[in-house]
Structure 1
Amino acid sequence: MIEVSRFWRDPALPFVEARCVGDGRKVCYAAHSHESFSIGVITGGRNTYQSGASQVEVSAGSSVLMKPGVVHSCNPIAGQPWSYLMLYVDMPWLQAQGLVLPVQTFSTSPDLYGRLLQLFAELFDNELGDRENRLAQFFSDLPRYLQSATGETHLQHPQLDAAAAFIRAHRADPLSLEDICVACGLSRSYLIRAFRQRFGMTPHSYLLDQRVQQARAQLRKGRAIADVALEAGFADQAHLQRAFKQRLAATPGHYRDTGTLKPSDRPRYLPAAPRGLD
């Protein structure tokens, strides 16, 4: 039985991170985003996946895909159990492979589900060679597992996009709502209302989310939590603790200190990684 939640990292693959959650009832999220591309599978139960104004129910056998910056949340339905595996891949690595990210946000394809389980098995097996090439091959094959892209309509709003860019550029600064209004040329009331409609959270929540992302990157390096909190713009370690747990359903310490899965932690639903392919 795997733990309620465990993060996986490997120094040999610094551009990728995974998370195994054995009991999703104990891992609930506020709306948040990631700087990486995220893809994963629901391995048990069912949950509600919300992205912007869209909300769907996903269950075991489903796969979810999230582009960087997409605000989303996944939470249990009426306290029902569910479990999942997620993979977070850094954009510079994906771009270096010349890969095009898919439009779809979820899939019920059994072929994709099985292929993702196989990929997790390969990544978690540190005795298996050529894992980076295996990961690259998966993303190269990904389009054929997905339905034809239906296209996403994304209305242009340069001032709101400028507000978001301003927040990202100044996320560690003592930023006020008035600073953002001046930078994008919008009134306070309009900015709050329109920003939430476009990005799924208020400017303040977006700022906290950006600070959590900065802290997450530094914690992966094993840095002291108090130092990371101040550098990311939080008032203190406790402030980081609250914001981090709301968005990642894990404390900064748990996130920083959990590492590679031991053989005994291997999720029982993973197939064995194939041998003799090195």
Structure 2
Amino acid sequence: MSKSLFWRNPDIPQIELRRVEDGRKVNYAPHSHQQWSIGAITHGVARYQYRQDSYAIAEQDLVMMNPEWVHSCNPVDNQPWAYWMMYVDTDWLTQLSFEAGLLQQPHWQPISRAMIRPQDHSHLWYQDYCRVAEAFIDDNSDLLEKQSLLIDFLLSLMSWLRDVSVSVADSQQPQLQKPEPLPPQALRQVAALLEQNLSETPQLSQLTALADCSEGHLIRSFKQYFGLTPHAYLINRRIQYSQQLLKQGMDIVDVAQQLAFSDQAHFQRTFKRLTATTPGQYLKNG
């Protein structure tokens, strides 16, 4: 098997799966995903940075990322490690959980945990995760089996996570992660402006005028609430959108031009810095 592979199934468009066999070859800059994501460490050790917290992770640990929460995961002293990553469409997972009675309203609720270690539970979540991943990429596994295993796993896990969260709250124990308060309206307007036209880069003066604050205050405040500076936020959004365009069949050169990268090489470098793979590899393994 090559070092890094992606799987996508048009019959299960809500899921994207990635397998990395040699994590020493991947290095992530801080970034976020629009999907809810869950990864399984299958070998070795690594360092998981999730917002302001840092975790040492090892074989059989599961790591989770809420949509839009900034994170990175990288090797430790060039030690080998390997992992699965599963990216789950947030709207689909929210509706699935709501229809199963796990949410009172069809609105995403951030998961309080950053990770699940083997010693944290009696249920074998790691083994179940790997069973789903293996079935997803198995050509001999039929569609109904893939869908059944996936949905059963996700709903069982969401139910367990909800119960664990309630238990922690009842016992007055601190949560591993707490949602940040909503950003002030001015900062939400800045984020909206950045997302309005991903092919343009606003001037800092435009952003400070919109937020009605100084340059230093804007940069610090924006990073506090969104986990990235305004420029890094814009670049992250461009890469997220580029993945959608690539999956829709757009040529790499056209994607680079549409998203205002100076040239294809610039786009490829940025894409790899945030996704630890090249656009060509992302397409080839899809």
- Band the TM-score falls in, shorter-chain normalisation: 0.7 to 0.9
8 A Cα contact 1:111 1:145, kept in partner: no
- 3-state SS, counterpart of residue 164 of structure 2: coil
Matched, 1:172 2:195: no
Aligned to 1:105: 114
8 A Cα contact 1:42 1:62, kept in partner: yes
1:226 to 253, 260, 271: 253
Aligned to 1:273: none
Letter in 2 for 1:173: E
8 A Cα contact 1:166 1:183, kept in partner: no
Give unmatched runs, 5+ long, in structure 2.
Answer: 104-108, 166-174
Q: Deviations over 1:76-126 (max 9, x none)?
A: 111111100000112232233245553211110361111111111221123
Distance 1:180 1:134 in 2: 46
Distance 2:90 2:148 in 1: 16
Aligned to 1:140: 155
Letter in 1 for 2:275: L
Aligned to 1:47: 46
8 A Cα contact 1:112 1:145, kept in partner: no
Give unmatched runs, 5+ long, in structure 1.
Answer: 260-278
Q: Deviations over 1:181-212 (max 9, x none)?
A: 23332321111122223333211111111000
Letter in 2 for 1:243: T
8 A Cα contact 2:194 2:201, kept in partner: no
Number of residues of Structure 1 aligned to a counterpart in Structure 2: 258
Letter in 2 for 1:105: A
Distance 1:84 1:155 in 2: 32
8 A Cα contact 2:47 2:76, kept in partner: yes
Aligned to 2:267: 240
8 A Cα contact 2:97 2:155, kept in partner: no
Q: After superposition, where does 1:159-198 map in structure 2 within 5 Å?
A: 159-198=186-225
Distance 2:182 2:239 in 1: 27
Distance 1:87 1:12 in 2: 16
Distance 2:206 2:157 in 1: 42
Matched, 1:157 2:166: no
Larger displacement relative to structure 2 (140-149 or 219-228): 140-149
TM-score by length of 2: 0.84
Cα RMSD for the two superposed structures: 1.9
1:250 Cα offset (Å): 0.8
**Structure 1 residue ranges (4+ consecutive) displaced by more than 4 angstroms after TM superposition:** none
Distance 1:15 1:143 in 2: 16
Distance 2:205 2:14 in 1: 36
1:178 Cα offset (Å): 2.3
Aligned to 2:127: 114
Higher helix share: 2
TM-score by length of 1: 0.86
1:153 Cα offset (Å): 4.7
Distance 2:213 2:285 in 1: 43
Q: After superposition, where does 1:28-67 map in structure 2 within 5 Å?
A: 28-67=27-66
